[in-house]
């Protein structure tokens, strides 16, 4: 059965938490829990973060084990900038469901030109769709708002320049405008996460959420998919924190506005395998199939 005979395209995002491997014991119990949750969802695309192994030479074997467990094809992104444990973003594609991988990236940046992109990307043809889908698995640096903003600028510029149907999801390590993160919740964040995730106002000594990354993405016409949907289309119905430390929705999935009307359902689940919840966004393929990329509506200046 090919995806063109199915009513929906399922796109998941999962932070595996250092590959789902216990670095002290080598146990893969956490990895198995995440795999079990994803297998139950049967996604067609999985946007992965924190793919890693105990040793660098085991990275690709672990990536393939992850893909094989889900009957998918893996694409590995560059090392996550500022990662101390060798984490990578990756994308898994269900070619057995009829999806075709047309291209993969990003291209490596020349030495000395700055940090490598904090994402993995894939250009995917979904059978029955008039235009291909560009998927991005994103993991922004957790300890620097400056680095987050820089990476968000680069990613948003790429999405805007290509003007394609696009989905970008993952661990943004920052908040969306729809999040209701209280001052109490902000103050309870681990000290090392306070600088990138919040702003401090000296005159009244208060903290507020940092929305820079979300605003950059919104500036090129992308939408926070979970916030776009109605409560009845979400599980849970409320917009709740995606991390076990109740630190807001640092994990989100964005759609270019040409795909928002195809958004049908959103699920968020604590898999027990990571300190992040897994997400899944479902697109109505009949609506997505006729979507016109925004690049065909707007001409780019020279």
235-282 confidence digits (pLDDT tens): 999 999 998 766 789 999 999 999 999 999 999 999 999 999 999 999
CA atoms within 13 A on the CB side of 118: 26
**Can you give the pLDDT at residue 1?**
38
Closest to 170 (Cα-Cα) out of 210, 142, 212, 129 = 142
The SS3 call for residue 188 is: coil
Q: What's residue 183's pLDDT?
A: 74
Residue 37's pLDDT band, with cuts at 50, 70 and 90, is: very high
State the average pLDDT for the chain: 90
Residue percentage of the chain with pLDDT more than 90:
73
Q: What is the pTM of this model?
A: 0.94
Is pLDDT at 178 greater than 50 in this prediction? yes
**Phi and psi of 31, rounded to 5°?**
-60, -45
- Long-range CB contacts (within 8 A, 24+) of 82-86: 82/115, 82/141, 82/142, 82/143, 82/144, 82/147, 83/141, 85/18, 85/23, 85/52, 86/52, 86/53, 86/56, 86/59
Distance of CA 60 to the CA centre of its chain: 20
Torsion sign, CA atoms 224, 161, 198, 16: positive
CA distances from 95 to 110, 131, 139 (A): 31, 17, 24
Q: How far apart are CA 288 and CA 135, in angstroms?
A: 14
Answer yes or no: is pLDDT of 69 > 60.
Answer: yes
Question: Taken in order 173, 177, 179, 180, is the CA torsion positive or negative?
Answer: positive
Q: What is the pLDDT of residue 297?
A: 60
C-beta separation of 273 from 33 below 8 A: yes
Answer yes or no: is pLDDT of 298 > 60: no
Residue 244: predicted pLDDT: 73
Residue 130 scores a pLDDT above 60: yes
8 Å CB contact between 48 and 91: yes
Q: Phi, psi (5° rounding) for residue 60?
A: -70, -35
What are the Cα distances from residue 165, in Å, to 9, 56, 205?
14, 34, 43
Q: Which of 54, 100, 38 is nearest to 75 (CA)?
A: 100
pLDDT recorded at residue 114: 75
pLDDT at 131 over 60: yes
Q: What is the DSSP letter of 173?
A: S
162 burial via Cβ count (<10 Å: 0-12, 13-18, 19+): middle
Alpha-carbon distance of 131 to 11, in angstroms, equals 17
Q: Is the pLDDT of residue 28 over 80?
A: yes
* pLDDT at position 2 over 50: no
* Three-state DSSP state, 118: coil
Q: What is the mean pLDDT of residues 3-9?
A: 70
């Amino acid at each position: 059965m090919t995806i063109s005979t199915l009513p929906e395209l399922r796109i998941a995002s999962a932070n595996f938490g250092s590959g789902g491997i216990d670095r002290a014991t080598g146990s893969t119990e956490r990895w198995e829990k995440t795999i079990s949750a994803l297998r139950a969802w049967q996604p067609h695309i999985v946007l992965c973060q924190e793919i890693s192994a105990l040793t660098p030479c085991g990275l690709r074997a672990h990536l393939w084990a992850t893909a094989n467990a889900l009957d998918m094809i893996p694409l590995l992104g560059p090392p996550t900038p500022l990662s101390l444990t060798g984490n990578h973003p990756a994308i898994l594609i269900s070619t057995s469901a009829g999806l075709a991988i047309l291209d993969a990236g990003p291209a490596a940046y020349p030495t000395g030109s700055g940090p490598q992109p904090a994402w993995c990307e894939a250009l995917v043809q979904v059978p029955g769709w008039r235009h291909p889908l560009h998927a991005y698995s994103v993991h922004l640096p957790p300890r620097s708002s400056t680095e987050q903003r820089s990476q968000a600028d680069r990613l948003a510029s790429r999405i805007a320049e290509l003007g394609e149907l696009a989905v970008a999801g993952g661990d943004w390590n920052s908040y969306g405008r729809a999040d209701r993160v209280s001052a109490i919740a902000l103050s309870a964040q681990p000290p090392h996460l306070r600088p990138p995730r919040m702003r401090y106002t000296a005159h009244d000594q208060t903290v507020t959420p940092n929305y820079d990354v979300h605003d950059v993405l919104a500036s090129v016409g992308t939408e926070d998919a979970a916030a776009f949907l109605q409560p009845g289309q979400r599980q849970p119905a409320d917009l709740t924190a995606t991390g076990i430390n109740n630190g807001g929705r640092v994990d989100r999935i964005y759609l270019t506005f040409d795909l928002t009307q195809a958004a049908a359902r959103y699920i968020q689940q604590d898999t027990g395998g990571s300190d992040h919840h897994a997400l899944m966004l479902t697109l109505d393929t009949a609506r997505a199939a006729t979507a016109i990329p925004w690049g065909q509506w707007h001409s780019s200046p020279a």
